[in-house]
Structure 1
């Protein structure tokens, strides 16, 4: 194992210390419990947007803390969910009186931790809403989830929800919008190599020299199938068709009621993409793939969308939700309306994403 680390048990702490030193104008860091908040938190009378999850996916989530995006992020250990006390402390730190919106990727550990934190925050008189992201079309259930995994769509949800909160949306309005964005996101990923967690010291799965893995997860989970290596256009076509051919997807999610402190079950349906849809196209590196190769993927993706009369109105290309040093990529398409595009375009200033300022 070759990694730029000092000690396995210090990886996350030292990463957070480095972020604090690099971006004192944007964020503050707490090391006990571990969380990252925007430098001016709490912002009075603004909905606070909080997310989090296992480390190893950087810049998700800490790299998106700042104006126009997240108010707080809670990093767990590598590929390990944050704890409820982290999320609770972070929520209390950023609450400016308008409530806290928790954005949760659909992994069993994340869901349990965020649900517990929501109840703890409610117990302290903080209004809370939760939004689930489950955009991965590769699997119905996995080792980590009940239902589809939350992957690249998380970045899109966090940006649009963060802009809505900055624009003065109420907690109910921001939560409704964030969930609407989530149900319009679909993603699919692939790997050329596995990744190595510092604690394991060896690849998460074995992949032959002439093989690629289709449908991988962001925790280094093996995908839905393994195939002989193919060229970039063929990979892109395979991923895009999985997304564009995915049918309606209905699931029941638990939503926290800030008035009663109870959990409601809500049925949500993701409609398939259709000709004429406008989308944000997101081509993401899994950590080890250079931007030059991502542009090759985007080239073919743009062709496919044009052939299907899917209109790309915005794009994002780069390493934004990674799996350590895994070589590979993911594609996310998000159906958008005028409101979502306006909020996507709104100013943002974070360590990893910034425009309009």
Structure 2
């Protein structure tokens, strides 16, 4: 294993410090844990907190900033942050309007965020949460009961963040976050696994002519393995499963072609070339498209496709200004 690190036991701390130092006017790190907050604390509006294991960069700290998250809490690689860490993040950004936590559907994340919210209530902090479960690949996995939360989480950050910025009350911000969750679906694949620094070996193995379909974002294998196919056939397989799960016809959608960390943009654009034409054939209008690394799995080679079905409210909130390291609009 070759990694450009100093000490596998200090990867997360050094990574978060480096991230904050890249934008010191916008971000700061709390003294406790690997927690990133906005440098200018938001007042009199609902605060948004998200997080999860490290290894998904730019998620989640890359989405802390104006119009999106107020705080991102990072655990160790592919491991949920502890309830104490989440609580510190909530306390750092809490306002009189309350806090909404955006949690991906993994057992550890849900349990630890729930505990942190209960602890916050003991300190008279009003907090609530939503659980993102956009992955259509599996109903249950080693990590979850129900569907996993993957790249569609980014749209929850964006749209709920814009609603909070407008001054909406906590139940209204939660409602629009849940609307995004109800209208977003994703599915991914990989041609090469990733290696967790502390583990020192890949999470699974693939032959040169194999691909893994339905992977998650923690280096876990997918639903099945098969021989490599051309990019268009792979993309069609993923899109078909998404369209079979939710009726997008007659709607405008945002398309996210998300790299898993080790995939060249060249290949992501080839995938997008097919996806755009195929959706048009299906009577689905593309409102906007995002191509790049938005929620990764360290250096895994592969990609995921996410489709967000829009209504007028979500479209306006999606278009609202935002300024973060990983999303500028």
Secondary structure at 2:258's aligned position in 1? strand
Task: Tell me by how many angstroms 1:128 deviates.
Answer: 1.1
Matches within 5 A, 1:173-252: 173-246=172-245
The answer to whether 1:120 aligns with 2:119 is yes
Q: Deviations over 1:26-81 (max 9, x none)?
A: 1110242321101111x111100000000000000001000010000000000000
Equivalent position of 2:22 in the other structure = 22
Q: Would you say 1:273 and 2:272 are equivalent positions?
A: no
CA distance, structure 2, for counterparts of residue 44 and residue 217 of structure 1: 36
Deviations 1:3-45 (A, max 9, x none): 110000110000011012111111110242321101111x111
DSSP-derived class of the 1:188 partner: strand
What SS does structure 2 have at the residue aligned with 1:98? coil
Equivalent position SS for 1:297 = helix
For 1:330, what is the secondary structure of its paired residue?
strand
Q: Deviations over 1:138-158 (max 9, x none)?
A: 000000000000001100111
Distance 1:31 1:353 in 2: 26
- Paired residue for 2:272? 298
Q: CA deviation at 1:218?
A: 0.3
Asked if the contact 1:13–1:31 (Cα under 8 Å) also holds between the matched residues in 2, the reply is no
Match of 1:59 in 2: 58
Residue 45 of structure 2: aligned partner: 46
The offset of 1:277, in angstroms, is 1.5
Contiguous gaps of at least 5 residues in structure 2: none
The answer on 1:318 being equivalent to 2:292 is: yes
Instruction: Verify: 1:330 aligned to 2:304, yes or no.
Output: yes
8 Å Cα contact 1:215-1:223 kept in structure 2: yes
Tell me the distance in 2 between the aligned counterparts of 1:274 and 1:339.
Answer: 17
**Residue among 267, 288, 309 paired with 2:262:** 288
Distance 2:301 2:195 in 1: 11
**Corresponding residue for residue 307 of structure 1:** 281
Shift of 1:93: 0.6
Q: Which residue of 2 aligns with 1:7?
A: 7
Q: Is the 8 A contact 2:248 2:309 kept in 1?
A: no
1:194-241 deviation digits (Å, cap 9, x = unpaired):
000001111100111100000001001101011100111011101100
Contact 2:193-2:202 within 8 A present in 1 as well? yes
Alpha carbons 1:33, 1:85 under 8 Å: kept:
no
Q: Is the 8 A contact 1:62 1:73 kept in 2?
A: yes
Q: Distance in 2 between matches of 1:18 and 1:245?
A: 42
Residue 313 of structure 2 is aligned to residue 339 of structure 1: yes
Q: Within 2, Cα distance between the matches of 1:52 and 1:64? A: 10
Asked if the contact 1:188/1:332 (under 8 Å) is kept, the reply is: yes
Runs of at least 5 residues in structure 1 that lack an aligned partner in the other structure: 247-271
Can you list the C-alpha shifts for 1:59-112, whole angstroms capped at 9, x where unaligned? Answer: 000010000100000000000000111111111110121100000000000000
Q: TM-score, normalised by structure 1?
A: 0.91
Residues of 1 paired with 2:316 and 2:266: CA distance?
28
Structure-2 residue corresponding to 1:148:
147
Single out whichever of 121-130 and 204-213 deviates more from structure 2: 121-130
Which residue in 2 is equivalent to 1:75?
74
Q: Once the two structures are superposed, what CA deviation does each residue of 1:240-298 show, in whole Å capped at 9, x if it has no partner?
A: 0010112xxxxxxxxxxxxxxxxxxxxxxxxx224202111110000000112111111
